[in-house]
Amino acid sequence: MWVMTRAYQGVKKDKHLILFNFFLSMLLTSSVFVHAQPPVAYPTKPVRVIIPFPPGSSTNDILGRALAQRLSEALGQQFTVDNRPGAGDNLGSEMGAKAVPDGYTLLIGTNGPIGISPHIYKSLGYDPLKDLTPVTLYAMVPYAIIVNASVKANTFNELIAMAKASPGKLLYASPGNGSTPHLCMEMFKRQNGIDIVHVPYKGGAPATVDLLAGQVHVFCPGLPPVLPHIKSGKLRALAITMPKRTQYLPDVATAGEQGHPKFDVNSWVGLLAPAKTPPAIIDRLHAEIARIMNTPEMTAHVINNGADPMALGPAEFGAFLKAESSKWGQVAKASNLRID
């Protein structure tokens, strides 16, 4: 407004200059007005939360549903779960990655379809690091190297020594090719220069049954479904595969504590959105999830389902995803693992 005032005070009042300054003043005023507006309300309609697993089939589904329910309560709109299993958990993940980036389609992500799949599937319809935006990593599921009671190894290093003494004799189970337990054991083989044989199953339950029966010797699963068998003594945990010990088996040392700090395997559960989702929506969601994860009710629910609660924000979650992708990419390449 100062420029326009000086124009009026001059001896020669150039009407063009006056008009120019007037419109410049209006533009500046309107710009300030626009930036002063409050953010667009979110959400104003129901939100779809894609879970790429069958209903009730896993900790991932259970914790995904719990988060959706609590977001519904917190934000006053229905967060509706849409289970989309199939294609190694990649079907639902691709749907989430390709959804309209408006905050009304979200994805429950885990390390399988997000961290591992890009490195083992020859044709994948999405790139997790490019097509998805991290919101919050809110639960971590501890993994462990376990053996059946007949295996005469009580520590991680004793198992390695046994495998080196009898190449090709030990059998390890997995829920299928390309699963986290599969790559866990491939990492175990590569890091320790040992030869053990992969026996894939159609899911974790049949793999556990054969481990209990002594048909296979070693397994690297998430703890929740096998914890009762470990506590009963039917199975033995030799090492926690995360950097820190877990509250579920506090007396079992980590692989790092036993001299293998690079052996780091876990499963995680996080919320992601399609790339280019407005940052204001990402921030709103993360703030609510962080608050939810701090409630005694949600903390207890996560712990009761065998996971560790947390609330890594978008930046930290993004850095974590890059590290996970790099780690599993190296294992897949070294193992020459590809799935059509």
Q: At what angle do helices 59-75 and 279-293 cross, to 10 degrees?
A: 110
Residue 295: φ, ψ to 5°: -85, 145
Q: Are 101 and 282 in contact (CB under 8 A)?
A: no
Instruction: Report how far apart, in Å, the C-alpha atoms of 239 and of each of 127, 166, 172, 222, 234 are.
Output: 33, 21, 15, 12, 16
Question: pTM of the full predicted structure?
Answer: 0.84
Only one residue has tokens 């979200």, namely 106
The reported pLDDT for the residue numbered 34 is 37
The reported pLDDT for the residue numbered 281 is 97
The reported pLDDT for the residue numbered 19 is 38
The reported pLDDT for the residue numbered 5 is 33
SS3 251: coil
The reported pLDDT for the residue numbered 39 is 54
Other C-beta atoms closer than 10 Å to the C-beta of 186 total: 22
Distance CA 315, CA 134 (A): 8
The reported pLDDT for the residue numbered 122 is 85
Is the N-terminal amide bond of 43 cis, ω within 30° of 0? yes
Instruction: Report how far apart, in Å, the C-alpha atoms of 263 and of each of 97, 138, 216, 237 are.
Output: 30, 22, 22, 15
Report residues of the chain scoring pLDDT below 50. Answer: 1-38
Mean pLDDT of the chain: 88
The reported pLDDT for the residue numbered 89 is 83
Determine the residue type at 134.
P
Distance CA 190, CA 188 (A): 6
